[in-house]
Amino acid sequence: MGCGLRKLGDPEDSSPGKIFSTLKRPQVETKTDLAYEYVLLDFSLQAPSNPEVIRINSIVDIAAKVEDYYLQGYVVGALHPILHPAGPRVPLPASHLYRAVLLRPKASPKRPAAPSTQRHPRLVIEECPIPEDMQARDIAKELIQKINAAARRGMRFVGFTPQLRAPPRCCNEAGRDAGAEPDDSWPGRGKGPGSGPVWEGDPGEESRREGDGSPSPSTPRKGEESMLYAVFNAFEDTPACWSYQEGVLSLKVTRKGAVLSTLDADWLELTMFYYKQGLSLIDSFVCWDSPKGDHLPKSLEGFFIYEEEGSGLPGSPRRENDAIVVEQWTVIEGTAVKADYGPLLHTLAEFGWLLTSVLPTPLLRRDREGNLATKQVVFLQRSAARPGARAPEGINFTSSR
């Protein structure tokens, strides 16, 4: 699992990421009865210089901004900050950027578009307070209870999103000492617009691709607050048919001082048990905090949130899922996203791949043009075609796009 079949000959190779899947590439690029259409919208809490970025005063404003898309049959499939709040040492222009990924099934003769008179869901974004002294394990239990309670009211969970008002404390909304803005001496590995990850996976190469500068760790700023929001698609008059549970998430990391410089996870090994049960990976939390003192752990813990759809009664049919995990370097130029997972997402949409979650990380670097880049992990899934059609688990893509 995670075997690297392609070596990068040049340490300055500019590939922006790598992909892991439970299927071989020819099987990934097989048409199914279902395809998707995606729309990627970027929002900013500050006045953006890019006219394509939408101005908001709060994350809650996004619900009103996407209403027209919901009338066209889209729903938000993921909502995440472009930069993880644990990453920058000081506020950066891109620290105020958020990405909403909207999706809908693509109309076809077998799947006609929904009639315009059909009732549409609506996006709901609610503040989700968490006590400051709560431990990570208790946070998981608290959040799962909250989203299961919402599910019983017809609310389908999308994910948790922090509002970047302060250096966070723990998990996706946390990480006071996890990262810092990289200096300009970090190795450049830029890639132009429209580029996507190479189809490979060599952990040895990743350590050479990560930045090796030694920026100083972030420090808290007084008088600011950190807020966590829960994002849902609300369905009117819909009986509760979703339930949620947590799963283990563990990352191996290396550091330069207190700053994370690389991360490595066996994504497929961590998630395949749940995918085989027919569950969907909806969100993920990692405790990025560096403990005080001389001892800095070589691993970080967190949890995945999985969704089960259906009655959950014994004997209910479950169809296992195949998965794709993309480790993506997203490049930001000023206050705009220059290169990201978008082109790959639109390609995979034609083959029925559904994006279910995006995990931002505090890893930062500069590309050769001086633009900021941050690592994001993208999770996609698709119903398995049939027993016996699966490739051996953990086979990575080995061809280049």
pLDDT at residue number 289: 67
Alpha helices by DSSP H, 133-266? 136-151, 203-209
Each residue's pLDDT, cut to its tens digit, for the chain (401 residues) gives: 333 323 323 333 345 678 999 999 899 999 998 999 999 999 999 888 888 999 999 999 999 999 999 999 999 999 999 988 775 656 677 888 999 999 999 977 666 666 655 678 999 999 988 777 777 778 889 999 999 999 999 999 999 998 865 433 444 433 333 333 333 322 222 333 333 343 333 323 333 333 333 333 333 344 445 688 999 999 987 777 899 999 999 999 988 877 888 889 999 999 999 999 999 999 998 877 666 655 677 888 899 999 998 754 555 567 899 999 999 999 998 888 999 999 999 999 999 999 999 999 989 988 888 899 999 999 999 999 754 343 333 333 323 22
Of 125, 131, 180, 142, the closest CA to residue 365 belongs to 180
pLDDT at residue number 109: 64
pLDDT at residue number 334: 83
pLDDT at residue number 113: 65
pLDDT at residue number 193: 31
pLDDT at residue number 99: 97
pLDDT at residue number 195: 36
Other beta carbons within 10 angstroms of residue 385's beta carbon come to 15
Given the structure tokens 């909806």, which residue do they identify?
Answer: 282
3-class DSSP assignment, residue 365: strand
For 71-123, the DSSP string reads HTT-EEEEEEESS-TTS-SS--GGGGEEEEEEEEEPP-SSSPPPPTTS---EE
How open is the CA angle 256-140-312, to the nearest 5 degrees?
Answer: 130
pLDDT at residue number 10: 34
In contact, 253 and 271? CB cutoff 8 Å:
no
Cα atoms in the Cβ-side hemisphere of radius 13 Å centred on 218: 32
Cα–Cα distance for residue pair 171/143, rounded to 1 Å: 12
Interacting residues of 122 by C-beta distance below 8 A, sequence separation 6+: 63, 67, 70, 233, 234
